[in-house]
Amino acid sequence: MVRVTERNAHMFWQQKERFRSTRSLIMDGHHALWIDPAHFSHIFFISFKVPHLLRLAEQAALDPDFHLNFHPRILRLVASDSELWCNGLERFPSLTHIHIQQRWTRDFAKFASCLPPSTRFLAIDPAFEEGLRSAVERFLDGISRSLQHSIKVLGRVLVRTPYVKRDLRDSLSQGMTGLAILKSEPTLWLDDSIAYIRSVRGFPMQDLANELDCGTLYFFGRQLWGPS
């Protein structure tokens, strides 16, 4: 696992040949925006923020051979509330697992329509505005609308709650469960076993846990409805 930060970005690019065979790349710094995918043809897991995704998408749009060398299967996005994700995700047809951490787009249905057809597992760690149940309701409404088309191809949609306070967590759990039963939808899963992060120190610890579990976190939680 290779992590590119503000402190080591310059040294990393100077010695990038050493990392040609890396399987996991974590982009954690705005000085590391440019990636030459030809140097990382073995990447299986990649983690970065929205600016990195969009810069890669721009490069993919300009280079018709982009996909020949760069085939990540697992993507983690630590992102702000942005509808620009669609401009980036469609450039990565090899993705099978996508994990969105800490924020959520206002229009889930629009985002879901941009998922690459290869996507099979989607994990979401939403962070709603404090005390606003309406934000939870909008989130659930987006999932309901996308169930009609966009995420039908997914094997699992997992919602996790490390960034959701208990009062909203209960609303989210009840809403997700009711939606799964109403729609008879076996793809909806919920993992509310992760303790709420109460301090700033908890965020980097959760980040690390997510990185270490990058390929397995999709298989935790409980199924909200299943055929009897």
Q: Are strands 222-223 and 188-191 parallel, antiparallel or unpaired?
A: antiparallel
pLDDT of residue 210: 73
- The residue-averaged pLDDT of 54-69 equals 60
Q: What is the mean pLDDT of residues 155-169?
A: 89
pLDDT of 225 above 90: yes
Q: What percent of the chain has pLDDT over 70?
A: 70
The DSSP result for 108-153, as a single string, is: HHHHHTTS-TT--EEEEE--PPTT-HHHHHHHHHHHHHHTTTGGGG
pLDDT band at 177 (very low <50, low <70, confident <90, very high): very high
Q: Which residue would you say has higher pLDDT here, 220 or 148?
A: 220
Question: What values do phi and psi take at 190, rounded to 5?
Answer: -140, 130
Using an 8 Å Cβ cutoff, are 27 and 47 in contact? yes
CA distance 142 to 86: 15
Extents of the domains making up the chain: 73-223
| Residue 219, pLDDT score | 94
For the cut 90, the answer to whether the pLDDT of residue 195 exceeds it is: no
Whether the pLDDT of residue 200 is over 80: the answer is no
The alpha carbon of 108 is separated from its chain's Cα centroid by a whole number of angstroms, namely: 13
Return mean pLDDT, the chain: 78
- Alpha-carbon radius of gyration of the chain: 18
pLDDT value at residue 49 = 63
Mean pLDDT of 213-218: 86
pLDDT at 157: 93
Q: Can you tell me the mean pLDDT for 205-227?
A: 84
pLDDT score recorded for residue 223: 96
pLDDT of residue 30 exceeding 80, the answer is no
Mean pLDDT of 127-132: 72
Average pLDDT on 18-27 reads: 80
Mean pLDDT of 174-186: 94
User: Which pLDDT band holds residue 89 (cuts at 50, 70, 90)?
Assistant: confident
Max mean pLDDT among 31-35, 130-134, 156-160 falls in 156-160
pLDDT in tens, 47-60: 776 556 656 666 66
Q: Give all strands of the β-sheet with 156-160 in edge-to-edge order.
A: 2-5, 24-28, 45-49, 74-78, 97-101, 121-125, 156-160, 188-191, 222-223
